[in-house]
A and B are shown apart, each in its own frame.
Chain A
Amino acid sequence: MIEVDLLDVRFGRGPKAVHAVRGVSFKVAKRETFGIVGESGSGKSTVLRVLSGLLHGWTGQVAIDGKPQGRKRAKAFHKLVQMVFQDPFASLHPRHTVDRLLSEPIAIHGLGNADGRIARALDEVGLGREFRFRYPHQLSGGQRQRIAIARALILEPRILLLDEPTSALDVSIQAEILNLLMRVRAEHGLTCVLVSHNLAVVAHLCDRLAVMNAGTVVEEMPVDRLRTGTPREPYTRQLLRASQGYDRKVVETFG
């Protein structure tokens, strides 16, 4: 469904250029969920932004649903691929009602039956009809993220890109959103790419994952290897140990 081959991204020019992504390749099969884990600056979000068409100026090959993608994406692409962002406080227009936020993609793609679609989308993310005419500031963080998911799903995409979808939320709300994502993924037969710094969140949702560090993929593995605590690369093992709480002895090994 998604094929990325030798993706390279540089920001800036000359000696100050930042080589953010260095020769990253991976494939995601239909209905599979692929995770990308890494620390800040590892290039994980940059990869996702290239996939979604938000970033230009990359080199390498990206094919989605068998079609090679260039700089400019067709309108049909955005019906196929949708994205949910990290911060639901920043990704929803503060002066648009939920109704307007959800009807805009319908109008752009000329889908019709906006009323029915919006009602269904709100139902799907577990929000009642009463949310339809509210503004984002009248919603909690979790409710906003539900609206962001509804907005992504309203075009009935087949690929969902998730950029740290729960890291701005409290754990109890994170649990609700993770459950919701698992449900809609199964109901819509979605192919997903999830970017996160949280190993447990990635392990929870994904089938396979890639660990990125300094722009390169350090290790690609099935999620089982994370579960059994047997990653091969030292970097991944360090990340795993660090995510399992504070241990004075473990910290000494970080150097």
Chain B
Amino acid sequence: MPDATPEPLLTVEKLRVRFRTPTRVVEAVRGISFAVGREKVGIVGESGSGKSMTARALLRLVPPPGEVSADRLRVAGVDLLAADAKTMRDIRGRRISMVLQDPKFSLNPVMAVGRQIAEAYRAHHRASRTDARRRALEMLRAVRIRDPERVYDAYPHEVSGGMGQRIMIAMMLAPDPDLLIADEPTSALDVTVQMQVLAILDDLVSRRGMGLLFISHDLDLVASFCDRVLVMYGGRIVETVDAANLHAARHPYTRGLLAAVPRLDRIGTELPVLKRDPAWLTGEDPAR
């Protein structure tokens, strides 16, 4: 029996990730809740804010001794908390795909890139080699690679960083996932290439009705690209804002981050430095 109200693509309630070490317990993610529909949602935060750990927890890829707990963790109707290893393998790639920061480390160096894309497709769909190849070429075309036949047979070291990232995206999209998690997908790229890669993701969300969780440290980039932004600090979501209203953000952390970015229209003055308030870690927000 389906629910009366449609369930969002991704539901996360009270997600926690903690690492127990012999000397102390590190709380990487402290009970965050959010939902993602067929939209572009950004997660912004500085290093150590827990944004990448959140993404890994969704795919159950938190390395030991990390412990993940949540009240609810559902993707496209599947309960991730109850899923066994086999179910998780079906989910990864098919339901949720993830694009990582640096294509150099995520592509298999001794396998032609086209075969890697075809393999990703065949892992989730019954298809002949010819069909998988056709699908891979189609994906390469979808990420605007001009000469897909040539690139299909190229090895990762033969392609540039921007091309490598597009190949990664093509591979992640081949199984047609419901949700794509992109963890700093463009920060290793030059600005112009970065914009082109974002345009590809943008089109995919609007054309295929895919959900996108876009993780980045770049507040301005996320605001200009996403629909909604979750701001993380110390393992908590301190604020959720509509991207268009980011500059009306209320939390002192968000405001501090925005002010610390050097901008072309105010040059040469001292930049305001972020003063961290310990209360941000516990959730007592002085602004509210």
Contacts and interface: CB of A to CB of B under 8 A. Distances in A.
B224 A247 contact: yes
A222 B224 CA distance: 28
Given A39-B191, A179-B270, A245-B220, A204 B262 contact: yes
Contact of B267 (A171, A174, A203, A247): A203
A38 to B, nearest CB: 9
B262 A245 contact: no
A197 B260 contact: no
Contacts of B263: 200
Query: What size tier do the contact residues of chain A reach?
Result: 20 to 34
Given A172-B273, A203-B262, A248 B268 contact: no
Interface string A193-230: 00001111101100000000000000000010011010
A248 B261 CA distance: 23
Contacts of A203: 262, 264, 267
A127 interface: no
Contacts of B272: 175
A61 interface: no
B193 to A, nearest CB: 8
Interface stretch (B24-32, B168-176, B194-202): B194-202
A14 B191 CA distance: 32
B257 A245 contact: no
Interface in A224-248: 226-227, 229, 238-239, 242-243, 245-248
B280 to A, nearest CB: 13
Contact of B264 (A170, A172, A226, A250): A226
B158 to A, nearest CB: 14
B191 A246 contact: no
A239 B270 contact: no
Nearest to B191: A242
B109 interface: no
B209 interface: no
Contacts of A199: 264
A175 B196 contact: no
B84 interface: no
Contact of B271 (A40, A179, A242, A254): A179
A176 interface: yes
25 contacts: A39-B191, A39-B192, A170-B46, A171-B219, A171-B257, A172-B260, A174-B260, A175-B260, A178-B262, A197-B190, A200-B262, A200-B263, A203-B264, A204-B271, A229-B264, A242-B191, A242-B192, A242-B195, A245-B220, A245-B224, A246-B195, A246-B202, A248-B202, A251-B196, A251-B198
